[in-house]
Amino acid sequence: MPAIRLVATDLDGTLLRKGGTLSEYSQGVLQRTQAGGVQLVLVTGRPVRLVRELARDVAPESVLICGNGAVLYDARQDAVLEQFPLTAEVMREVIVRLRRGLPEVAFAVESGLALAREAAYVRHSRKLGDAQTEVADALELCARGASKLIALHPGMPLDEFLAQARGLIAELAHVTHAGAPFIEISAQGVTKAWALARYCEQQGIVPDEVLAFGDMPNDLPMLEWAGNSVAVANAHPSVLAAARHQTASNEDDGVARFIERELLG
């Protein structure tokens, strides 16, 4: 493996165990990696509100890429540096098309540190964190724009829902999923790969100097961009097929084990 200057890793299902926990072993390996001069960037579909506490423990000096690339967050300053949102106009068209093609669809909206949901979404979904949320129709909620639009369909398998949604709105926005029972919609062109490439260019880091880890379809663009890509054993079949390397599952500290073996030696 070539000299690595930056490790980029997804969180849920990749670095973190069930329940969003990180073992002492994994935390120690990440600390040693950073102490050796390798940057650590957490690249997640989570919004900022759900990574702030974790960032203080795992990457307190780092920049995090949140919302599948829509938000750049500085853990040291506890500040959002940049946002790349869906516009209100695009969101409105996305909602109209999805409702027309998939009438049972329900929406939630992530905007900065705020979350809002439709009543139908509340009825069908698991909790999106413990946030106190505004409840209103999606067309009302979209008036402010958003970092990410979330949609669920109560009667359709996730991969099928993703495929149908892409068929309806692919030219308007980027659509993916991270294994949770909903799809995630970002501004056109905004992906984990786009945001990571943008950050690395600012740091003078090229793809061959990046080691990236993931487990779900929303990680695919990042794994395809990075010069060195690794899927955890529990990854989605598409990710296992795309990654150049494979490691143990998230429950078995796969990210840390690969880093210790290949980088820390």
Same domain, 61 and 120: no
Kindly state the helix (H) or strand (E) to which residue 113 belongs, with its residue range.
none
Whether 90 shows a pLDDT value over 50: the answer reads yes
Residue of 172, 206, 167, 197 lying closest to 186 (CA atoms): 172
Q: Determine contact, residues 43/213, Cβ cutoff 8 Å.
A: no
* 194 and 79 belong to one structural domain: yes
Domain hosting residue 22, numbered range: 6-83+190-264
Q: How many CA atoms lie within 13 A of 101 on its CB side?
A: 16
Q: How confident is the model at residue 115 (pLDDT cuts 50, 70, 90)?
A: confident
Domain-located, residue 95: yes
Asked whether residue 1 is assigned to any structural domain, the reply reads no
Q: DSSP label at 87?
A: P
Report pLDDT for 128: 53
Q: Is the pLDDT of residue 179 over 90?
A: no
Count the domains in the chain: 2
Same domain, 36 and 164: no
Residues 201 and 248 both lie in one domain? yes
Residues 155 and 243 in one domain: no
Is there a single domain that holds both residue 78 and residue 196? yes
SS3 46: coil
pLDDT tens profile 187-242 = 999 999 999 999 999 999 999 999 999 999 999 999 999 999 999 999 999 999 99
12 pLDDT higher than 60: yes
Q: Are residues 98 and 178 in the same domain?
A: yes
CB distance 184 to 191 below 8 Å: no
233 with 198, same domain: the answer is: yes
Reduced to 3 states (helix: H, G, I; strand: E, B; else coil), residue 135 is strand
143 shares a domain with 14:
no
Residue 140 domain flag: yes
Is residue 45 within 8 A of residue 195, CB to CB? The reply is no
Residue 196's pLDDT is what?
98
CATH classification at residue 162: 3.30.1240.10
Q: What is the DSSP track for 191-220? A: -HHHHHHHHHHHHT--GGGEEEEE-SGGGH
Give bridge partners of residue 187 from the DSSP assignment.
Answer: 173
Most confidently modeled range among 104-113, 120-129, 143-152, 242-251: 242-251
Residues 97 and 137 in one domain: yes
Q: Residues 30-72: pLDDT tens digits?
A: 999 999 999 999 999 999 989 998 898 888 888 999 999 999 9
Do 100 and 178 share a domain, yes or no?
Answer: yes
For residue 186, the one-letter residue type is S
Q: Which of 125, 157, 187 is the last residue of a domain?
A: 187
Q: Give the mean pLDDT of the chain.
A: 93
| CATH value at residue 54 | 3.40.50.1000
Q: How many residues does the chain have?
A: 265
Residue pointed to by tokens 């300053």: 77
Helix %, strand %, coil % for the chain, to 5? 40, 25, 35
Buried b (16+ CB within 10 A) or exposed e, 66-85: bbbbbbbbebeeeeeeebbb
161, two tokens:
């829902």
